[in-house]
Amino acid sequence: MAKNIQAIRGMNDILPSQSPAWQYVEGVLRQVAAQYSYQEIRMPVLESTDLFKRSIGEVTDIVEKEMYTFDDRNGDSLTLRPEGTASCVRAGNEHGLLYNQTQRLWYLGPMFRHERPQKGRYRQFHQFGIEAFGMEGPDIDAEIILLSARLWQLFGIADQVELQLNSLASNEARARYRDALREFLRAHEEHLDEDSKRRLDTNVLRVLDSKSPETQAILANAPRLSEYWDDESRAHFDGLCQRLDAAGINYSLNERLVRGLDYYNRTVFEWVTTELGAQGTVCAGGRYDGLVEQLGGKATPAVGFAMGMERLVLLLESQGKIPPAASIDVYVMGATETGELNAPAVAETIRNLQPQLMVQLHSGAQNMKKKLAKADKSGATFALVVRDNDYELKHLRNRDAEPVTAAAIPDLLGEMQKSY
């Protein structure tokens, strides 16, 4: 017997029993994006490798360790997208959507990173992303944070997540801070973890993200990024905070928050939870004003966020916030030879008269006892038994029912609706 082929490690199937939870979450995301006048954009999963090297940064963990990259038959280096922002900017530049325009865009789809699979974090994962272009004030930063806060309210988890904010300031201010932080850490280099030692010369701000307790103890006395903010960046951050205060959004300042991608400037934020263990970020983003120009477009301010769908679904399931999946309303079966022939037409009649109902047609030759058992097992509310010239509606929690004629189907369906 041939050996079964299994899914690639870290690339998981979403089974029929799981897909209703995903459909529910996706529906809420689409609804809220539309409420805020964001439009959907769909990008290819495969892009030029150079796109991610130029945007994310060649010395980031994603580019150095995690990308799925290969040469195609023409010798071009291609990469399965590890995140959505760079692809969105590439598409905006390519199709003339960004220069001297404002755009509010959203996307939803699979991303790919070769990292250690763990609960809620996979090598093929799915992201929902929001990107806003052409607006430079703190009001648009506040808007996307308010949009994300509305999601938590609708999902019923507003009390399970906390908003953390920081500002990476301007490129010039950040460069001055980077030099000061590197000088401080050099004096303690022998006590740093190996990753942090490597990052001293490549991406020193990522040392602030270190998971090493010894490194974090050293960082307690390190220079603070806010000490290097320029006046314009401080005013921008203050403007954001004032708008969040006015909207009643709680937040905390986290000066260790730097994000793992090189393109961020000014505002960065994360929504975090303690309900998912050590990897507690459920949504993260910020401002990336230089990325459009960096990828070949005209200078355009931009801000956005992304959230991992797997982690969001996991959080909602852990809190019991996924509504029950829709069940079958009517299970249609034939009880005679003529009934078997007419049953598909009867099922279609029900679908035409009541499009919102979920109707399942019995398939396979079985006796009535087995058909009714299958209807029971399906979870249907009603069984409709089709005979030669009449029909019998069986409420599967109340087996007593009167036969009805074909002409009575519309009234029958009306009665079915009333019973809910």
Which residues does the annotation place in the binding site for L-histidine? 83-85, 113, 127, 131, 259, 263-264
Query: Which residues are documented as binding site?
Result: 83-85, 113, 127, 131, 259, 263-264
For residue 388, give Cα distances in angstroms to 148, 369, 403, 416.
56, 18, 12, 22
Determine which helix (DSSP H) or strand (DSSP E) holds 373, and give its type and residue range.
helix 368-378
CB atoms within 10 A of CB 374: 18
Give the count of alpha carbons within 13 A of 211, CB side only.
2
Q: Name every residue whose Cβ is closer than 8 Å to that of residue 266 and which is 6 or more positions away in sequence.
A: 141, 167, 168, 169, 170, 233, 236, 237, 286, 287, 289
Do 104 and 37 touch, CB atoms closer than 8 A?
yes
The answer to whether residues 248 and 162 touch, using CB atoms and an 8 Å cutoff, is no
Q: Report DSSP state, residue 316.
A: H
Contacts (Cβ under 8 Å, ≥6 apart) of 265: 168, 169, 170, 171, 174, 286, 287, 288, 289, 290
Cβ-based neighbour number of residue 193 at 10 Å: 16
Contact call for residues 123 and 9 (beta carbons, < 8 A) = yes
Q: What CA–CA distance (Å, rounded) separates 285 from 271?
A: 9
The answer for residues whose C-beta is within 8 angstroms of residue 206's C-beta and 6 or more apart is 60, 199, 258, 260
Radius of gyration for the alpha carbons in the chain, expressed in angstroms and rounded: 28
Spatial contact of 264 and 287, defined as CB atoms under 8 Å apart: yes
- Rounded Cα gap, residues 50 and 247, in angstroms: 41
Which of 265, 292, 295, 241 is CA-nearest to residue 134?
292
- Helix (H) / strand (E) containing 91: helix 85-94
